[in-house]
Structure 1
Amino acid sequence: MRKESQLLVLLATLGITPLCYAGTASTQEDTMAWKRLNELVERQGRQLEEQQRQIEALKKRLGMDNASSEVGHSQSHVAKPAPPPSSAPGDAVKNEQGKQQVVQTKEAGPTQAVGRPPAKPNISQQYKEIEAIFSQQGVLTPKGTLVFEPSMQYSFSSANRVVLNGYTIIPAITIGLIDVRNVNHNTYTPALTTRYGLTNRLELQLYVPYVFRDDSAAASSLNIEDSAINENTRVFNADASHLGDVQFGLRYQFNMPAGGGPIFIGGLQAKSDTGKDPFHVSTDASGYATELPTGTGFWSIQPSLTAIMPSDPVVFFGSASYIYNFERSYQGTKWDPGNTIGFNLGMGFSMNENMSFSLGYGHSIIDKTRANGHVLSNSRTTTLGSLLFGASYKLSDRVNLNFSVEAGLTEDAPDVQLTLRVPFSI
């Protein structure tokens, strides 16, 4: 009777109330039924563990998130539920077999990880797409990190000029000289930019360019006198290869938003006159340059302010700057090339964790040139407007590939400008 009582307690713990104790079966039959039930539960547990191992192997092959693996692993160790009450041990075995079929059907179906929002990219990843077109508008370099950025830039611009020096006797007929000039400018600028993070909010940067220039000009003059037309065409070529104007400066991030708000970055940059200046290039008798400058010939300083606003999946950005050129004396004359006001704005799109692209617009207004405080008669205000498109691809955690295209929208802006940059950090 003691063994029968223990068996009754055990079956009651499993949620089974055998009818044998109501006089429908013997104690030996109950014991056999309990053993079969125990073997069935153990076999079901082994099958679940084998299915779990297969699921884990499949997840590793598919590169699924570790978080979902942890959830599935924890589910495999949940205590096995007790079988529901039945009218007899035989019925209990049938119920367990039915439950096993249901579990196997569910496990055979597609597995889905328990819902968990994907981790948001850090602030550096969110703003990387901005650097695709503007090298100085991404987030700052982290503290203690050194970034080298070799780059190659190609710029092409052309200009046509027609000068009429004569008089008109009847409409569409001119007597005198017609001067037509076509000038093409090709500039290749390999450069190396270095940035170092002093703190997480302050970085230093240095830009060293080397400039190759190749200009060609074709001048055609038509001398119309009486009924004769005399045409004279000349072609002028000039080139240069020399160190450009070295630039250096710093940038500081004013705030550290915790909730994804806008960030503001201030910059201060100085430009030297290390390039070959326009005052020391030679010209021929016609006034055409036989060699070309590779720098402006003036020191300048440029303060700037940049605002960056994330709005998932887009990042908006804008910047304003002012370039102040210091006067320079040459052959007793004080020259002032005019200061520049500039701004740009745009947006960056992150397509995935490796690929992003940006659209932007840049605008600059250059003041008139002055000599001894007076505006030159042939000087005018210059406006540069350009549309920019850029793409960025992350080759690795430390190396990016950035490419941008700039198309000029105003007469004085370069027709096209291509830039390839490969920043890598150590």
Structure 2
Amino acid sequence: MKLSTLPVFLASALLVHSMNAGAQESQTAPASAAAARDALAKKEGEGDQSALLKETLTAVDKQYSLIRRGKTQFTYDLNYSYIGQEKIVTDFTSSGLTLFDIENVNSHIITNTFSADYGVRDNLTANVTLPLITKYAETRGHSGVSNSVGDIVLGARFQPFEARRDAPGLTLTSNLRLPSGRSPFKIIAGSGEATGSGVTALSLGVNVNRIVDPVALFGSLNVTASAPAKDLSQVTGTRVLTRVQPGMSIGFGLGFAYALSYGITTTVSFQEAVSQGSKLRFEDGLNVKTSTQTSGMLNMGLGYRVSPKTTLNFSVGIGLTNDSPNLSMGLNVPLAF
């Protein structure tokens, strides 16, 4: 080979090598891009963030999404709450205040709640809730544990308008609470702790939610009225309590849920309830009205999707007022049969 033709030969060889390398790169690049797309793509059965947000909203308040007609859904909730407070004990006679004492009251409450939802229509869901309560209370004078059924709740949720992705969802709610638990107005000191409210109550409310993927905003407003507890005979100090008329209560809440991924969501919400004072009547004709109570809770939650149809929801609540539980923790588990 002549020296004059060597540069031409080398140039041709380099051109062929570059063409072969370019062809290999053109084949590798699409394959790498396809692999990346497959790795980042949503796998089959993962659902979407909107569905996960709806499940999370349902677990947060059990009022934000309905089930199909003829379908049944069961849910189990486990909740622990701690209440620590200083209770003022007083008694009145014709001569005025005769007893004034302050005692510390510590209560640990574990609630196992079983709920069943049934789709009456596509936009109407009926609900029944059965709580089983274990309560331990400790005061300076005594301590005790109570295991009993709590107040059973019958409820209904109704969506007057068809849900649309680009519009807020509206749900009307009603709940009838039955005094099936141990009444606080009938227990005898030292014989156990109350596990119910002791009165029948009706609640009406409205809930609004808006999903802006990957965030869902929600809020609620409700009003509760209670029937009086009559024909009582509870000894309180030196008097006998005969009638209690609980005051009306107004509550509201707001918050948001955020989908971190197809399997993880977080929620932050605030709830507050303002209750008017109760009217107490004693056997000797004395009438007393208690002060207004305000309860506020800050709740934080985490939802974890373990399967396409099952999402576990954990929550922690912190009391913001003196009338609120100091701490609450909850676990929500859908049940399938």
8 Å CA contact 2:63–2:157 kept in 1: the answer is no
Alpha-carbon distance in 2 for matches of 1:108, 1:123: 36
User: What residue is the counterpart of 1:377 in the other structure?
Assistant: 288
Identity percentage over the alignment? 22
User: What residue is the counterpart of 2:112 in the other structure?
Assistant: 190
CA-based RMSD of the aligned residues comes to: 3.2
User: What residue is the counterpart of 2:28 in the other structure?
Assistant: 108
TM-score (norm 2): 0.79
8 Å CA contact 1:400–1:424 kept in 2: the answer is no
Counterpart code for 2:24: Q
Gap change, CA 1:112 and 1:255, over 3 Å in 2: farther
Alpha-carbon distance in 1 for matches of 2:270, 2:259: 19
What are structure 2's unaligned runs of at least 5 residues?
1-14, 91-98, 234-241
User: What residue is the counterpart of 1:137 in the other structure?
Assistant: 63
Q: Secondary structure at the match of 1:291?
A: coil
The structure number with the bigger radius of gyration is 1
TM-score (norm 1): 0.63
Q: 1:201 aligns with which of 110, 119, 123?
A: 123
| Between 123-132 and 359-368, the greater mean CA deviation after superposition | 123-132
Gap change, CA 1:104 and 1:146, over 3 Å in 2: same
8 Å CA contact 2:50–2:214 kept in 1: the answer is no
- What do the CA deviations read for 1:291-312 (whole angstroms, capped 9, x no partner)? 2111111111111100001223
User: What residue is the counterpart of 1:280 in the other structure?
Assistant: 186
Counterpart code for 2:57: I
| Between 196-205 and 295-304, the greater mean CA deviation after superposition | 196-205
Within-5 A mapping of 1:9-408: 102-109=22-29, 110-113=31-34, 121=48, 123-132=50-59, 134-161=60-87, 179-218=101-140, 235-283=141-189, 289-331=190-232, 333-371=242-280, 376-377=287-288, 379-408=290-319
Alpha-carbon distance in 1 for matches of 2:171, 2:110: 30
| Between 376-385 and 242-251, the greater mean CA deviation after superposition | 376-385
- What do the CA deviations read for 1:359-403 (whole angstroms, capped 9, x no partner)? 00000011111246x995351111001100011111112222111
Alpha-carbon distance in 2 for matches of 1:209, 1:259: 34
Alpha-carbon distance in 2 for matches of 1:131, 1:255: 18
Which of the pair has the greater relative contact order for Cα pairs under 8 Å at 6+ separation?
2
The structure with the greater share of residues assigned to strand is 2
Give the superposition deviation at 1:122: 7.1
Alpha-carbon distance in 1 for matches of 2:89, 2:152: 38
Alpha-carbon distance in 2 for matches of 1:124, 1:131: 11
Alpha-carbon distance in 2 for matches of 1:142, 1:124: 15
| Between 270-279 and 353-362, the greater mean CA deviation after superposition | 270-279
Give the superposition deviation at 1:270: 0.7
Counterpart code for 1:204: A
